[in-house]
Amino acid sequence: MSRAPARVTARSGRAAAARTAKPARRRPPAKTNDLPRIPLPPGLVRTIRNWTLGLFVLAAVVAGLIVMGVPQMTGMAAAHGLGRMGFVVRNIQLTGLKQVDRDTVYRIVSEEHGQDMPLVDLAQVRQQLLQLGWIADARVSRRLPDTLAIDLVERVPAAVLQRNQQLSLIDAEGHILAPVDAHTMPVQLPLVIGDGVEAHIGALRTLIASQAPLKQLIEGATWVGQRRWDIRFQSGETLSLPEGDAAASQALATFVKKDQEARLLGQGYVRIDMRDPKQMVIRTSRDPGTRITDPAPPSATQA
């Protein structure tokens, strides 16, 4: 009789411990970046596979036709068909032609006369025209049904270049345009001399334009030592300018001012040296007031 209560007590203790114990926490499911999968119908998968295979086969067929020249033959046939309909080059229209030899231009473009209009290679015609020195740009276009239109942009001569006893017209960018005869040389253009002078024609043109009163009095210019200018005047003087565009422009402006004050040109001076911005050195001749032909016996004065 004495053991029963003890068993009851033990059971009661275990039950109380079970009631007081905290339930175990469940771990949240791990997060994944997998997008939800949408099942595709079996028919759609088969259709995609068939289209992919079909496109692959089509690409292979097209590549084979290109190798055999079928597209070119088809294009040629279409071009000839348009030609039979009247789309043939029968007229050539030229605009912008001033200095370029007309016969030379016609010789290039006449090869397209009678050609089916779609077969005219506009880019090739343009490149042939650009080989002519005078032409800066050329626009070639079709004017249906039968006209090939060519619009030329010519270069503008800026000087006459003397090299190896040969005279040539040259533009501000240094492009040689055409040879020129000494008896027909345009007097309004300066005669330029010197190694590498082609690259400095634009700078010379800007320099002269900065002093408009001198433009009509300048005969030519020499690019000396590939670094500076000697300006030659029609009255016989040579003006030596310093190096650098800014320094040369300032010296030329000073010369114009002094010429207006003291009339330096036409007095028989041989050379007016302004290479040193701080002073002007003038060389004279035996016969002041005449055009200089013999600069050998100089005397130096400063102004």
Q: What is the CATH number of the domain that holds 136?
A: 3.10.20.310
Contact 96, 152 (CB under 8 A): yes
> Ranked by mean pLDDT, which of 91-100, 245-254, 258-267 comes out on top?
245-254
Residue 243 is predicted with a pLDDT of 95
Query: Is residue 6, in this structure, part of any structural domain at all?
Result: no
Name the nearest CA neighbour of 159 among 138, 175, 140, 181: 175
- The pLDDT score that the predictor gives to residue 191 is 96
- The per-residue pLDDT for 285 is 72
Query: Which amino acid belongs to residue 139?
Result: R
Looking at the domain assignment, is residue 12 inside a domain? no
Residue 56 lies in domain: 49-85
Task: Answer left, alpha or beta for residue 289, where phi above 0 means left and psi between -120 and 50 means alpha.
Answer: left
Q: Is residue 5 part of a domain?
A: no
Q: Tell me, what amino acid is at 133?
A: G
pLDDT at 182: 86
Distances (CA, A) of 278 to 4, 251, 273: 134, 10, 11
Domain boundary (154, 179, 195) is at: 154
In this prediction, residue 296 has a pLDDT band, given cuts at 50, 70 and 90, of very low
Residue 233 included in any domain? yes
Q: Above 50 in pLDDT, residue 293?
A: no
Asked if residue 98 and residue 189 are part of one domain, the reply reads: no
Rounded to an integer, what distance in angstroms lies between the CA atom of residue 125 and that of residue 86? 22
Give the per-residue pLDDT at 265: 92
Residue at 273 is within a domain: yes
Residue 277: band (very low, low, confident or very high) from pLDDT cuts 50, 70, 90? confident
Closest CA to 136 of 167, 168, 175, 103: 175
Task: Give the whole-number percent of the chain exceeding pLDDT 70.
Answer: 66
**Residues 101 and 127 occupy one common structural domain:** yes
Domain boundary, last residue among 121, 154, 187: 154
What confidence tier does 79 reach under pLDDT thresholds 50, 70, 90?
very low
**39 in any annotated domain:** no
Q: For tokens 């300048």, what's the residue?
A: 218
Judgement on whether residues 287 and 170 belong to the same structural domain of the protein? yes
- Asked whether residue 161 falls in the same domain as residue 55, the answer is no
Number of domains within the chain: 3
Residues 6+ apart with CB under 8 A from 76: 119
Q: Please say which residue of 126, 154, 182 terminates a domain.
A: 154
Residue 291 has pLDDT above 50, yes or no: no
Q: Are residues 63 and 146 in the same domain?
A: no
